[in-house]
Amino acid sequence: MNFHSTRDTNKTKYTAAQVIIKGLADDGGLFVPESIPTLSLSEIGSFCDLDYPTLAATILSKLLTDYTYGELLEDCNGAYSLASFPDGACPLVRVYGNTYSLELWHGPTCAFKDMALQLMPRLLLRALSKEGESRTALILVATSGDTGKAALEGYKNIDQIKISVFYPKNGVSTIQQLQMATQEGENVNVCAVNGNFDDIQSEVKNIFSSSDISSKLEEMGYFLSSANSINFGRLAPQIVYYFKSYCDLLKNKEITLGDKINVCVPTGNFGNILAAYVAKLMGLPIATLICASNSNNILTDFLNTGRYDRNREFHLTISPSMDILISSNLERLLYFISGADATATWMKSLNQNGYYQVDENTLTEISKSFCGYCADETQTKQTIGKYFHDYNYLIDTHTAVAFSALDQYREKTGDNTPCVVASTANPYKFAKDVYNALTGIDSSEGFDSLTALSNETLAPIPDPLSKLRDKKTIFTSVCDKNTMADEIFEFLKK
Ligand SMILES: *Cc1c(COP(=O)(O)O)cnc(C)c1O
């Protein structure tokens, strides 16, 4: 299986290993597989007998064909071990009726990004040796909170890799900030930036495309690579858990093989929901993908009108990992629906004018699989209260946006197809806002909020968060958008 850029009409070929090393294509596009492998229903049914690492290796081996099944199995066994995921990789919980929560946050950092980032460093290390690469990979991460910590945990203390993480100074929760500032490891750097996530992500893109910076890095023995969900190595592992959730429904006799399900995903960069779409293209019986947004509802508008317009106010919300106005992975969807030529044109318009409008056919095609709903802050909080009081199910602020979207979708369409909701963070990761949603009371930031929430709900505080209390703060630097490159070179000189 070869890969090429979403913007390249000549379809220059890359292997999976090259794609995982490069992250972003030279023309600014994202890498996509040249075709999507499809699975028969009976094959999907047979997945029910596999444990999670074996399922992951089986599915990934169809996409990353320059890795052997044995290599993938070894890496998946390492990534999804009981040491990292003590409760199993991603339990499916029945919330009520035919409504299920796919809990993707049982990994070391309590957010769904562990599902990909525990595996990706292993795939990258293998890619370096497959490609005979002797330079050190510098992983550059722009994070709205969860990616940063998950990437730091995944890449820490790995030979031939260094990692530098940037996050918006006022755009992450206290717990998220503590998780990153206390990160241990020989090869890691963390820096806060005066700006929002989009500022940081666009500067990271600038650094990636600067030939000055890359030649300076080259002289020092480094090259840039990315862990953001623009990297296909990050996307691929996320496809797996949608198959797993379907198998769980089959095993529990909630559905029979071939029945369609809906999937509802709280969305920021469009990575997680795009992975569900790829699962659908591969043959998983998914009817509708419900794209859930917070007050930064650019995707809701896009799915309703076909116009993607980032010229709008940016909101800081209680679901900060979704505070995004440029959902990079949407580009992959545009490519799958309309090809490289159209995608390149729209992305050029987005860069130059801050918007693009897709044609009627494209919008119709997209609407066959996707619909978009959004929840403002009040709706998000009400949903946390409702799910806790009515179903005794405690959810975080991001997951609440998704459940609100699902409720709105069902109300509007009357479609009561079984639905899997991607639950993307442990509620304690956003304890202050979850507590406030339940009680109307403002707790203090940080650990007090953990205690307050646990007193209120009696839900156990996850270990990785309660242990933060004894950790030493290591990283305190703050930089501006235009000094991020300097910060990187300072780090490499150490
Ligand atoms: C990253 C993140 C999201 C958004 O996922 P995308 O793949 O960027 O759409 C949602 N919820 C949480 C908790 C996250 O960390």
pLDDT in tens, 42-70: 999 999 999 999 999 999 999 999 999 99
- Give nearest CA residue, ligand 1 atom 2: 321
Domain ranges of the chain: 92-111+233-462
167, 322, 327, best to mutate for ligand 1 pocket (most atoms within 8 Å of CB): 322
Structure-token match 């969305």, residue found: 267
- pLDDT greater at residue 26 or residue 452: 452
Q: What is the pLDDT of residues 85-111, one digit of tens each?
A: 999 999 999 999 999 999 999 999 999
Q: What is the pLDDT of residue 126?
A: 96
- Give nearest CA residue, ligand 1 atom 12: 424
Q: What is the pLDDT of residue 147?
A: 87
Q: What is the pLDDT of residue 174?
A: 84
Active site residues: 113
Query: Torsion angle, CA of 342/143/437/265, rounded to 10 degrees?
Result: 40
Q: What is the pLDDT of residue 422?
A: 98
Q: Which two tokens stand for residue 67?
A: 């890795």
Mean pLDDT of the 465-471 span: 92
Q: What is the pLDDT of residue 443?
A: 83
- CA of 189 from ligand 1 middle (Å) equals 22
The atom of ligand 1 lying closest to the CA of 271 is: 7
Distance between terminal CA atoms of the chain? 40
Q: What is the pLDDT of residue 198?
A: 82
Structure-token match 């198998």, residue found: 247
Mean pLDDT of the 396-421 span: 98
Q: What is the CA radius of gyration of the chain?
A: 21
pTM of the model: 0.94
147, 263, 321, 396, best to mutate for ligand 1 pocket (most atoms within 8 Å of CB): 321
- CA of 26 from ligand 1 middle (Å) equals 26
Is the distance from CB of 337 to CB of 366 less than 8 angstroms? yes
Mean pLDDT of the 330-336 span: 98
Quick check: 494 pLDDT over 90? no
Quick check: 451 pLDDT over 80? yes
- CA of 269 from ligand 1 middle (Å) equals 7
Q: What is the pLDDT of residue 322?
A: 93
Q: Indicate the burial class of 315 (C-beta count within 10 angstroms; 0-12, 13-18, 19 or more).
A: middle
Q: The domain 92-111+233-462: what is its CATH number?
A: 3.40.50.1100
Q: What is the pLDDT of residue 171?
A: 83
- Give nearest CA residue, ligand 1 atom 14: 321
d(CA 9, CA 323): 32
Percent over 70 (pLDDT), the chain? 100
Report the chain's mean pLDDT, rounded to a whole number. 95
Q: What is the pLDDT of residue 118?
A: 96
Mean pLDDT of the 475-479 span: 96
Name the residue among 103, 104, 195, 182 with its Cα closest to residue 143. Answer: 195
DSSP string, 100-116: EEEE---STTSBTTHHH
Quick check: 235 pLDDT over 80? yes
Q: What is the pLDDT of residue 86?
A: 94
Q: What is the pLDDT of residue 146?
A: 80
- CA of 265 from ligand 1 middle (Å) equals 9
The atom of ligand 1 lying closest to the CA of 150 is: 15
Mean pLDDT of the 133-139 span: 95
* Ligand 1, pocket residues at CB < 6 Å: 111-113, 146, 229, 266-272, 321-322, 398, 424-425
- CA of 341 from ligand 1 middle (Å) equals 29
Q: What is the pLDDT of residue 26?
A: 87
Task: Please report, as a single letter, which amino acid is at residue 429.
Answer: K
Q: Per-residue confidence at 357, pLDDT binned at 50, 70, 90?
A: very high
Q: Per-residue confidence at 324, pLDDT binned at 50, 70, 90?
A: confident
The atom of ligand 1 lying closest to the CA of 272 is: 7
